Amino acid sequence: MRFLWICVVKDLRRWRRDPFTLAIWLAIPLVLAVLMNVVFGGGGNPAPQGVLLIADEDNTFASKVVAGVFHRDPLDKMLALERVQRGEGRRRIDRGEASAFLIIPAGFAQAVNRGAAFRLQLFTNPSQSILPKLIEDTVSITLDMFGTRRAVGPAIGLETTVIPEKKRGKSFAALFFPSMLCMAVWMIANALAGEIWKERALGALRRLAVMPVRMAAFLAGKLVSVALVFACVAGTGLVAVRWLGRVPVASLPAAILWLVLAGVAFYLLLLLVSMSASTPRGASMLGNLVMFPLALVGGCFFPFEIMPAWMASVGRLTPPGWAVTQFSAILDGSTHTPGLAAALGGLVATSAVAFLVTLVRLRRSFLI
């Protein structure tokens, strides 16, 4: 155990002597957070902005008065008014593309003149709380101004229908952030795996082979130091993106833990790839040949939501694809404790197998 911590301290001291590389690793998630804040925005509390769809089937002075109230200040600054046909308006409000959809049926003006019973139809978006209610109250007040509502007898009223609420889609920042942060972890793991060649060139591995210590302790020490790097990267990225990019993080500890364990698994996989080469240059090329195709298919460059279905189904089976999928579920809170525990257990088991295989490769051929 003492030798394990000696190996951890050795790696940390070596990185301290090369602060530029460590700064780059920590800067990657910060740069991602800043870019998301610039591209997708994240500041201030602007006035509500919405869309009101109106199907004016009466097309009379009375119907234009109802629609015209939304062209006045301050409503015109909060709502964009669009005139549509009944079918188009209903499809758009069902998809959640507007705050409300108002139908003024034909015969509205005649009902106003005769004082006959009549109903306007209003469909509201349940995912918005302020604007639909504002629109409903405005239309109701406008109808009162016509003097057509009475305590008894026929009246012109407003029939309001709240459409069934649908699951909200993710913002662009929330959609892209899991992919980009997992890509950063994937790239850092490749860079860390290549450092084994530096220790071999300096003779550290040969000296280790003749020392009365266990090779497993040396490799375990590297995993601890690598895990510390990934914990710093994950914590920096998650805190920054939640503050700057306004990306929701359902469980910060679970998200950090997942990225640390995924980063360790990535490191072991790419370390094994690096040791399969015959030269440091070959190791770098081989690592890139493995890393970039898997990152591309595995949802690190583009989220699975915007990829072709067949590619997304294949990408989710890759190591980075599985990591991205689980990480996204942790961020939005859609994963449950049993499922998360099973995923973490699978990740630990995979890392344990990779650790044993890497240890055998390190003992048998890489020290020569």
Residues in the chain: 368
Q: For 244-265, what is the mean pLDDT?
A: 86
Q: Count CA within 13 A, CB hemisphere, residue 96.
A: 9
Say if CB 316 and CB 322 are below 8 A apart: yes
Q: For 157-182, what is the mean pLDDT?
A: 73
Q: Count CA within 13 A, CB hemisphere, residue 15.
A: 19
Signed CA dihedral, 266, 305, 250, 340: sign only: negative
Bin 335: left if φ > 0, else alpha if -120 < ψ < 50, else beta.
beta
Least confident of 41-50, 227-236, 339-348: 41-50
CATH superfamily of 50-162: abc type-2 transporter like domain (3.40.1710.10)
Q: For 145-153, what is the mean pLDDT?
A: 50
**How far is residue 292 from each of residues 30, 179, 277, 289, 306, measured CA to CA in Å?**
22, 13, 17, 6, 19
Where do you find CATH 3.40.1710.10 in the chain?
50-162
Say if CB 262 and CB 328 are below 8 A apart: no
pLDDT tens column, 271-287: 999 988 888 888 889 98
Query: Which residues have a Cβ under 8 Å from the Cβ of 344 and sit 6 or more positions away?
Result: 257, 258, 261
Q: pTM higher than 0.75, yes or no?
A: no
Number of H helices, E strands in the chain: 16, 5
User: In the structure encoding, which two tokens stand for residue 74, read together?
Assistant: 């301050």
